[in-house]
Structure 1
Amino acid sequence: MTPHPPLEGSTRWLITIALSLATFMQVLDSTIANVAIPTIAGNLGASTSQGTWVITSFGVANAISIPITGFLAKRFGEVRLFMLANIGFIITSALCGIAPSLELLIFFRVLQGAVAGPLIPLSQSLLLSCYPNEKKGMALALWSMTVIVAPIFGPILGGWISDNIHWSWIFFINVPIGILACWMAWPILRERETARFEIPIDRMGLILLALGIGALQVMLDQGKDLDWFASTEIVTLAIVSGLALIALVIWELTDAHPVVDVSLFRQRNFLVGSVSTALGYMLYFGSIVLLPLLLQEHLGYTATQAGLAAAPIGILPVILSPIIGKFSNRIDFRWLATLSFVVFAFTFIWRALTFEPGMAFSDVVWPQFVQGIGIACFFMPLTAITLSGLKPNQIAGASALSNFMRVQAGAIGTSLITSIWERREAVHHVDLSANVSTYNPAWHAALGDYHLAGLTDGQALGVTLREIVRQGYVIGANEIFWAAGGLFLILTGTIWFASRPSGGSASDGGGAH
């Protein structure tokens, strides 16, 4: 099939908006429900721990469906698959909103996660095919803005809806967005269908993928609650996941029509770009989860205040991304990625030096604001490097596989960082509590001050223990910030193992569409 020519003028802008809406909808849905779990569980007569399966069920199904997008796109066509995924997401979102029980809600979330898988990689692939080679950098810049903004506003919007309307609108909100995206995209995309191939279904690959990724996702979601490898269940899940994924790689390398094209890792830029993106996103996304928890649970912020404190990270990317995209054909993206990693390292270390219980609101906001430079130079350059040098029929599969790695890395980062945070608090709790002793003159002095304030010994001890917990969590968070800063500095060297995309753009990635 002859590649479709690039679009021009208002048509290109319309399809950019339509595809970005679809991406925004899916990324927003991945974060918006997190803050509403206690409300949803209480409304449906379940415990909060049971309610977490609303998140886990979506994550498992989504993690399995993302990497098979390339296979499905070859079999059914990218446009048809994208539209079906969009319509399926609209329907399942509505079903989630009207679910009368937690069991049905979890079932509908499984369906929603499954149909959502192709949305992000295909929105990226289809968008690149609509732009000429010299403007593909701009296409990636505009697309990346939606991936940046949605996770920031998801928790804020989810909390506001839960507090002021009804939790069902967390899912109903997807319906008008999805309908608008379909209405705008279909008239333009229906004449731009990609080639379809009657390739056989790789059943063994599907089974191994579902088993390996499903076990991994459940392990990540339940690990902290079950004390990780002290639990037989977590050990079993880890073994099952590891064996299944190893078998999957071996099987897919030998299968004529693999459901996941792992041979893409033979391409140096795909390997370096996707691994660098995954590692960077793991650290970044883990901090997105850690910061609101620290602010709300231990520094006295409300959900709205925590959201507003985190939101400035999206300001500079909205301003800088189009500028970077405009001049992308003159820039070596490896330098932009390096700048991103350096800014991330700087802002994490900045936090580690300034975060303390009595800090001002501005002490939270300014590192977030400056980190926006790192975000602006992260998604688009790394995506361009990852997709460079690939054939047109490889773009959808490569986009799906790299996005899968990014999403899984985010899940790993969340589990890893929150677990380390709690363990470090326990260590600091012991150290700080050792100072509360009858043999410590400082404790006697503090106790005297409490007595002057009218507190009894028991009340003074309670206040002190609460402060010890708060201090322990703040110190633990700062240790994580130090570690993240150091790891980002290490990452600055990894991206230089990639070769420069010709012209500094994404042209040789998606250019042949």
Structure 2
Amino acid sequence: MPFNGIFFNHKYTERYIKVIQTMSPLRRQLLILTVLLAAVMELIDISIVNVALSHMSGNLGATLEDTSWVITAYAIANVIIIPMTGFLTAQLGRRNYYIGSIILFTFCSFMCGQAENIWVLVLFRFLQGIGGGALISVSQAVIFENFPKEKHGTAAALFGIGVFIGPTIGPTLGGYITENFSWPWIFYINVPIGIAAAISCYFLLTEPAEKPMLRKIDWTGIGLLAIGVGTLQTVLERGETEDWFAAPYIICFTVISVLSLVAFVIWELRVEFPVVNLRVLKSRTLSIAAVLTFITGIGMFTSVYITPVLAQRLLGFTPTQSGELLLPGAIIAIFVLILCGRLMQRGVPTVVLVGTGLLSFAYFNWRMTGITLDTSATEITVCLIFRAIGMAFLTVPLTALAVSSLEPAHIPQGAALNNMMRQLGGSFGISIINTYSFRMTAQHRSDLLTHITPTNPAFISRLDSYTKYFQQKGSGYLDARQRAMSLIDLAVIKQSTLMSYIDSFSLIGSMFIVVLPLLIFVFKKRSDKPREQVIISDH
């Protein structure tokens, strides 16, 4: 079953199997468990902060928009580091790079918990994301290396479950920690795990039998990508707050972003060893898969961002209750992932599975547009189950689709590009949804205030009812009237905010429906036989 990775020939695989056979079964199992734990730890940190955003915002004296940088900084760092994984592995050695990344991730986790300022926290979250970038691709490579060829489907399922479960259980774990301890402990929990993983890898992890070929690092491409993505992210995050182009630095960053990204594309198409080989986008299948992966990233990240915030700020859920909303879906998704893997092995076209995932996720968003301030936890949990099913049907098949038409030599860059698109979708998606919901909240508030008039019988009746209530509590008429107006204003704010989140779910769901027809252009007959390949690495 295809997965994110480099595909080597059978001769190399046989040589490597002889090498890993010298390890005892216990050492191999401990190594697999260690790298899988490290990967899940990194993936959990993508979403573990989501249910703690309100607490961070209040504790650090920051707005929710500023606090969302805690999520996007991590995602941006992943976007930058993922394409560099192959270079750094070749330059530093896989063992050194992997253990060094665990140490960096662990140290920055501790520093995130120590942060007393929102921007210090954002800085260490960015550095934490740099360290975490290697924990996905290298962990995947090690897991596949320790399974024989005939069990690579099992390896793919094992790693796929970890990839999916990590971000899904993050809010549940984060909610429990935030409510029973304090938000810094969502970062401190990584410290003992990271130390244990680093020590274990020091004794168990070895270099691959055949080291990657050293080649010149595309520092220019890396710099242009980092500047372009970073400035564009800043524009998306701060544009609405700064009244867009009324702020000089927004104009400046917009120009820098456009010029950097255009220069990046031109440079990558000309340089001999690009950090992101855009030439592989000549493959129509990969191009379409990249678009679908970008949309999937938007849906995956924004759904676990909006839902906990909505549940806590509007529905009055505790952080633990907010996190538990995602747990049933995560459990069901494990079985769906296994089913999905079996369907692929039996020849079910990947486009059919991807289409099922897109429709399921669109249905989740459609159901979420029907929520009210009285919606129960059960209803939201049921909605999130459809989200989980959709993500399960998209996780492995979409990756397989991305590399299905590439030559073996181009698969590493194709897989890296596809991974990068998922992270870009996540970071951009959160910024876009923040801006969109902020604007829609203002619009809905303005619309609702048109009904707050002396000629509206419903408003007058509600105002009189609240006034009498406060008078019965001992307030004078004028004070009771003022408190009644404040209560109505609060209701308007909550209702307009809820409506903005409904609009956000509607927008995201529409994206999944709009891209669905793209699958028509990559549909292949079931008689098409995939190239027989062995999956070893992700970089």
In the superposition, the TM-score normalised over structure 1's length comes to 0.86
Q: Are the structure 2 counterparts of residues 90 and 471 from structure 1 closer, same or farther at C-alpha, using a change threshold of 3 Å?
A: closer
Give matches, 1:65-464, under 5 Å.
65-76=81-92, 78=94, 80-97=96-113, 108-131=124-147, 135-182=151-198, 189-190=205-206, 192-330=208-346, 331-352=348-369, 354-390=370-406, 394-454=410-470, 456-464=480-488
1:20 aligns with 2:36: yes
Q: Are the structure 2 counterparts of residues 14 and 381 from structure 1 closer, same or farther at C-alpha, using a change threshold of 3 Å?
A: farther
In the aligned structure 2, how far is the partner of 1:292 from the partner of 1:104? 24
Query: CA offset at residue 381 of structure 1?
Result: 0.8
Q: Is the 8 A contact 2:176 2:323 kept in 1?
A: no
1:48 aligns with 2:65: no
1:471 aligns with 2:487: no
1:64 aligns with 2:88: no
Query: CA offset at residue 342 of structure 1?
Result: 0.9
In the aligned structure 1, how far is the partner of 2:428 from the partner of 2:416? 18
Q: Are the structure 2 counterparts of residues 78 and 460 from structure 1 closer, same or farther at C-alpha, using a change threshold of 3 Å?
A: same
* Higher mean displacement: 48-57 or 298-307: 48-57
1:358-380 Cα distance to aligned partner (Å, 9 max, x none): 22222211111233221210111
Structure 2 counterpart SS, 1:358: coil
Query: CA offset at residue 215 of structure 1?
Result: 1.8
Q: Are the structure 2 counterparts of residues 305 and 339 from structure 1 closer, same or farther at C-alpha, using a change threshold of 3 Å?
A: same
Q: Are the structure 2 counterparts of residues 428 and 406 from structure 1 closer, same or farther at C-alpha, using a change threshold of 3 Å?
A: same
Q: Is the 8 A contact 2:286 2:402 kept in 1?
A: yes
Q: Is the 8 A contact 2:362 2:512 kept in 1?
A: yes
* Higher mean displacement: 401-410 or 182-191: 182-191
Query: CA offset at residue 465 of structure 1?
Result: 1.6
Q: Are the structure 2 counterparts of residues 512 and 347 from structure 1 closer, same or farther at C-alpha, using a change threshold of 3 Å?
A: closer
1:4 aligns with 2:50: no
In the aligned structure 2, how far is the partner of 1:90 from the partner of 1:427? 43
Q: Is the 8 A contact 1:212 1:240 kept in 2?
A: yes
Q: Are the structure 2 counterparts of residues 109 and 344 from structure 1 closer, same or farther at C-alpha, using a change threshold of 3 Å?
A: closer
Query: CA offset at residue 131 of structure 1?
Result: 4.6
In the aligned structure 2, how far is the partner of 1:130 from the partner of 1:266? 34
In the superposition, the TM-score normalised over structure 2's length comes to 0.83
Query: CA offset at residue 188 of structure 1?
Result: 6.3
Q: Is the 8 A contact 1:211 1:241 kept in 2?
A: yes
Structure 2 residue corresponding to 1:487, chosen from 506, 511, 526: 511
Q: Is the 8 A contact 2:141 2:536 kept in 1?
A: no
In the aligned structure 1, how far is the partner of 2:311 from the partner of 2:198? 38
List runs of 5+ in structure 2 lacking aligned partners. 1-7, 472-479
Q: Is the 8 A contact 1:69 1:396 kept in 2?
A: no
Q: Is the 8 A contact 2:50 2:308 kept in 1?
A: no
In the aligned structure 2, how far is the partner of 1:411 from the partner of 1:501? 35
Aligned residues: 510
Q: Is the 8 A contact 2:363 2:386 kept in 1?
A: no
Q: Is the 8 A contact 2:175 2:322 kept in 1?
A: no
Q: Are the structure 2 counterparts of residues 510 and 492 from structure 1 closer, same or farther at C-alpha, using a change threshold of 3 Å?
A: farther
Q: Are the structure 2 counterparts of residues 512 and 368 from structure 1 closer, same or farther at C-alpha, using a change threshold of 3 Å?
A: closer
In the aligned structure 1, how far is the partner of 2:510 from the partner of 2:67? 36
In the aligned structure 2, how far is the partner of 1:159 from the partner of 1:338? 32
Q: Is the 8 A contact 2:54 2:309 kept in 1?
A: no
In the aligned structure 1, how far is the partner of 2:452 from the partner of 2:288? 51
In the aligned structure 2, how far is the partner of 1:447 from the partner of 1:110? 49
In the aligned structure 2, how far is the partner of 1:365 from the partner of 1:442? 34
Query: CA offset at residue 355 of structure 1?
Result: 0.5
In the aligned structure 1, how far is the partner of 2:481 from the partner of 2:536? 75
Q: Is the 8 A contact 2:35 2:197 kept in 1?
A: yes
In the aligned structure 1, how far is the partner of 2:195 from the partner of 2:50? 24
User: What amino acid does structure 1 have at the position aligned with 2:62?
Assistant: T
* Higher mean displacement: 428-437 or 337-346: 428-437
In the aligned structure 2, how far is the partner of 1:342 from the partner of 1:96? 38
In the aligned structure 2, how far is the partner of 1:63 from the partner of 1:486? 25
Structure 2 counterpart SS, 1:67: helix
Structure 2 counterpart SS, 1:378: helix
Structure 2 counterpart SS, 1:249: helix
Q: Are the structure 2 counterparts of residues 201 and 480 from structure 1 closer, same or farther at C-alpha, using a change threshold of 3 Å?
A: closer
* Higher mean displacement: 453-462 or 105-114: 105-114
In the aligned structure 2, how far is the partner of 1:58 from the partner of 1:416? 16
List runs of 5+ in structure 1 lacking aligned partners. none
Q: Are the structure 2 counterparts of residues 235 and 341 from structure 1 closer, same or farther at C-alpha, using a change threshold of 3 Å?
A: same
In the aligned structure 2, how far is the partner of 1:487 from the partner of 1:38? 28
1:416-456 Cα distance to aligned partner (Å, 9 max, x none): 11221121121121221111211122223333433453453
Q: Is the 8 A contact 1:389 1:509 kept in 2?
A: no
RMSD: 3.4
In the aligned structure 2, how far is the partner of 1:136 from the partner of 1:509? 11
User: What amino acid does structure 1 have at the position aligned with 2:393?
Assistant: C
Q: Are the structure 2 counterparts of residues 59 and 197 from structure 1 closer, same or farther at C-alpha, using a change threshold of 3 Å?
A: same
In the aligned structure 2, how far is the partner of 1:289 from the partner of 1:26? 17
Query: CA offset at residue 251 of structure 1?
Result: 0.9
Q: Are the structure 2 counterparts of residues 366 and 31 from structure 1 closer, same or farther at C-alpha, using a change threshold of 3 Å?
A: closer
In the aligned structure 2, how far is the partner of 1:191 from the partner of 1:396? 19
Query: CA offset at residue 345 of structure 1?
Result: 1.5
Q: Is the 8 A contact 2:87 2:214 kept in 1?
A: no
Query: CA offset at residue 268 of structure 1?
Result: 2.9
In the aligned structure 2, how far is the partner of 1:102 from the partner of 1:487? 32
Q: Are the structure 2 counterparts of residues 346 and 428 from structure 1 closer, same or farther at C-alpha, using a change threshold of 3 Å?
A: same
Q: Are the structure 2 counterparts of residues 492 and 100 from structure 1 closer, same or farther at C-alpha, using a change threshold of 3 Å?
A: closer
In the aligned structure 2, how far is the partner of 1:121 from the partner of 1:200? 21
User: What amino acid does structure 1 have at the position aligned with 2:321?
Assistant: Q
1:124-168 Cα distance to aligned partner (Å, 9 max, x none): 344445555665444333323223222233334334434443554
In the aligned structure 1, how far is the partner of 2:89 from the partner of 2:530? 21
1:37-93 Cα distance to aligned partner (Å, 9 max, x none): 6766887xx542577665565444433222222333444455553343234323443
